[in-house]
Structure 1
Amino acid sequence: MFTLQQIAETLGRPVEGDGTLRFARAAEPDAAGPDDLALAMSPAYGDALRAGQARAAILWDGADWKGFGLKGAVLVPRARLAMASITAALDPGPRLPEGVHPSAVVDASAALGPGARIGPFVTIGADVRIGANARIGAGCAIGDGVVIGDDALLQPRVVLCERVVIGDRFIAQPGVVIGGDGFSFVTPEESGVERARKTLGDQGDIREQAWTRIHSLGAVRIGDDVEIGANTTIDRGTVADTVIGRGTKIDNLVMIGHNNVVGEDCLFCSMVGVAGGCTIGDRVVLAGKVGVNDNITVGNDVVAGGGTKIFTRVAAGEVILGYPATKMDTNMAMYRALRRLPRLSEQVAELRKTVAGLVPGKRDE
């Protein structure tokens, strides 16, 4: 159970009314009962709040909380920021028993920090170092030489391959794989795909050639406060390490190729794919299904809209969209022009008929 006063302190906001009101959970305004905290942080939720039975609520700044029949409230100026604090306070996270589960296999050379919790069927390799209060969920596999910082959370079935280094407060959702080999192959002679890339389409003489693996000698280094979504993969570097900067958040089903260097506080949404050898600056936002070609540089503070395909360098601060990527306002103008093409085609056909009627000898053609 929580009190309204506790939530107010978490938000850094004053309590309006009775701060001793207790509740067990947060709820949508119309579904909230007397023991729930209603979340109604926009005037659009006013009617829904009246339809519920909440005694306490989080409301938008300036709201008339008494007018809603509440006994207590906390008013917030920025709804989504308040949601971050409220959900953090109310979310206990996965609960693992203290210590190492009997079914876990932990190499004798591994060092576990104080308060670390190791779940069932976890495997931990040689010379691994796991920080204080880390939680390692069921079925995780941690390779030799891995370093994990303090307060990390690995949800079930996360795989960290050998020599991966991760900072403090790391979160990995189920199915994450970090440190798999990069997708690097070569043929004995220039392949058709290499020639096609140079010539923009001509493969030359096509011949049978087998692919030879280029092994990955690097690892992956991840900074503090990074979060990675379910079933995302990050490949190790070929020689140098793949790097993910501090504070970067990566969604589900994202693919980060070998030798990429990703900056700090970036946000990559679901199904982003970044080919190998890219350098991506700080605070870059890649929306869903953005693709980045190999060996591309993306500057700081770039925002790429959903489905954008990046084939060339992007300067710092640009907002881009489309396939291929162009500045967002340019792309929208192009799209509007594209929508007009059918009508324009009809108009051109009509003009041709008119012109043909005006030119002697063309009327009957």
Structure 2
Amino acid sequence: MKTSYTIEEINAVLQGELIGHTAENITGPEQLENANNNQITFIGSAKYVKLWADSKACAVVVNDNLKIEADDTRAIIKVKNADLAMAKILELFNPPAPVFDTDIHPTAVIHESAKIGNGCKIGPNCYVGKDVELGNGVILYPNVCIFDETSIGDNTTIWSGTVIRERCIIGSHCIFHTNVSIGADGFGYHPSDDGRGLVKIPQIGNVIIGHFVEIGANSCVDRAKFSSTIIGDGCKIDNLVQIAHNSIMGRACIMAGHSGLAGSVTLGDGVIIGGSASIKDHTKIGSGATVGAGSGVVGDIKPGQTVLGYPAQDARDMLKQWVAVRRMVKK
């Protein structure tokens, strides 16, 4: 892996407009305030432009609609979107993944009926159950458990501590970070006839996860009571997220940390759920809708709508209410 790049090499990747020059070899990206003279930084908002003057970074990637001055020793690369450009730079400096000394560790327990694809890597103390199918290039880091009759698509990476329960179907090119739980029982109980306890409702369904899905550490996707809990292609789920039984997420949805879906919630395509937001059971959220951080959704949301607050309301209406309350307090 290459450890440093010239500004010209970096711009060859970004295909931006290079202004000025730096002779420094760039050893990595860093925030404006923390960068040293061998690092490149980025500015994606006008409010950060003023920090450039005092930054020690030798180069900056900046949105092309922002005005920023070059000098004799520092370079500027103007691009359409600095955030996306920085993602490309981070990829250049991304350290390699942990090394497997052997493709399948001798302490891994793999049932004789399991089908293991070409190029799979299975770490120490993993468990692969009866009739499991792993596609080509699947990586199981140490202490992963894959239970019976589960299938996992090509080039999916599963980090340590993750448990995938029986009969789940996982797509290709997914990433599950540490301690993810897929297919645990949904939360189903009913008061007993005698009123002295709770009866557990069996959860006999499964979880289906599409392609290119990423799930953050310590998140949970519960199996359905019957049928399937479904996560659509391209969904990105943060750490500490709860997705309850029989929920359905469309394609390319985003859920930020500490948010949660109760049972049988349906999300359209491209829905964004902010951090710590909670969605009531049997709610439908239309494609392209956004739920603000900390909001509590108790009713259906139209496609493209943005809601805020608890209970969540149209963002414009909620902002007006907040302004009115502040005025009342000041009086």
Range of TM-score over shorter length: 0.7 to 0.9
Measured against aligned partners, the alpha-carbon deviations of 1:286-337 in whole angstroms (never above 9, x if no partner) come to 1111111111111111111112111112121211111112111111222233
Note if 1:92 corresponds to 2:95.
yes
**1:103 alignment partner, SS class:** coil
Q: Is the 8 A contact 2:109 2:126 kept in 1?
A: yes
Any residues of structure 2 matched to 1:2-41 within 5 Å, and which?
A: 2-3=4-5, 4-13=7-16, 22-29=25-32, 31-40=34-43
Q: Is the 8 A contact 2:20 2:72 kept in 1?
A: no
In 1, Cα distance between equivalents of 2:317 and 2:269? 24
Deviation at 1:88, TM superposition (A): 2.8
In the alignment, which residue of structure 2 is the partner of 1:271? 258
In 1, Cα distance between equivalents of 2:63 and 2:155? 33
Normalising to structure 2: TM-score of the pair?
0.87
In structure 1, give the amino acid aligned to 2:306.
V
Q: Is the 8 A contact 1:182 1:258 kept in 2?
A: yes
Greater shift in the superposed pair: 31-40 or 244-253: 31-40
Note if 1:126 corresponds to 2:127.
no
**2:325 alignment partner, SS class:** helix
**1:337 alignment partner, SS class:** helix
Note if 1:139 corresponds to 2:143.
yes
In the alignment, which residue of structure 1 is the partner of 2:191? 187
In 2, Cα distance between equivalents of 1:129 and 1:328? 46
Any residues of structure 2 matched to 1:157-176 within 5 Å, and which?
A: 157-176=161-180
In the alignment, which residue of structure 2 is the partner of 1:154? 158
**1:67 alignment partner, SS class:** coil
**1:81 alignment partner, SS class:** helix
In structure 1, give the amino acid aligned to 2:324.
A
- What CA RMSD, in Å, does the superposition of the two structures yield over aligned residues? 2.7
Q: Is the 8 A contact 2:61 2:82 kept in 1?
A: no
In 2, Cα distance between equivalents of 1:159 and 1:219? 14
**1:179 alignment partner, SS class:** strand
In 1, Cα distance between equivalents of 2:166 and 2:321? 48
Q: Taking structure 1 as reference, are residues 334 and 58 closer, same or farther at Cα in structure 2, changes over 3 Å only?
A: closer
Deviation at 1:34, TM superposition (A): 5.0
Deviation at 1:31, TM superposition (A): 4.3
Any residues of structure 2 matched to 1:79-118 within 5 Å, and which?
A: 79-92=82-95, 94-97=97-100, 98-118=102-122
In the alignment, which residue of structure 2 is the partner of 1:330? 317
**1:100 alignment partner, SS class:** coil
Note if 1:74 corresponds to 2:77.
yes
**1:306 alignment partner, SS class:** coil
In 2, Cα distance between equivalents of 1:211 and 1:56? 63
Deviation at 1:135, TM superposition (A): 2.2
Q: Taking structure 1 as reference, are residues 102 and 57 closer, same or farther at Cα in structure 2, changes over 3 Å only?
A: farther
In 1, Cα distance between equivalents of 2:293 and 2:35? 35
Name structure 1 gaps, 5 residues minimum: 190-206, 345-365
Whose helix fraction is larger, Structure 1's or Structure 2's?
Answer: 1
Percent identity among equivalent residues? 30
In 2, Cα distance between equivalents of 1:29 and 1:311? 41
**2:324 alignment partner, SS class:** helix
In 1, Cα distance between equivalents of 2:320 and 2:47? 33
In the alignment, which residue of structure 2 is the partner of 1:199? none
Q: Taking structure 1 as reference, are residues 263 and 208 closer, same or farther at Cα in structure 2, changes over 3 Å only?
A: same
In 1, Cα distance between equivalents of 2:34 and 2:291? 37
Deviation at 1:145, TM superposition (A): 1.7
Deviation at 1:112, TM superposition (A): 2.5
For residue 220 of structure 2, the aligned residue among 217, 225, 233 is 233
Deviation at 1:77, TM superposition (A): 2.2
In structure 2, give the amino acid aligned to 1:109.
S
Deviation at 1:47, TM superposition (A): 6.5
Q: Taking structure 1 as reference, are residues 136 and 96 closer, same or farther at Cα in structure 2, changes over 3 Å only?
A: farther
In 1, Cα distance between equivalents of 2:47 and 2:315? 30
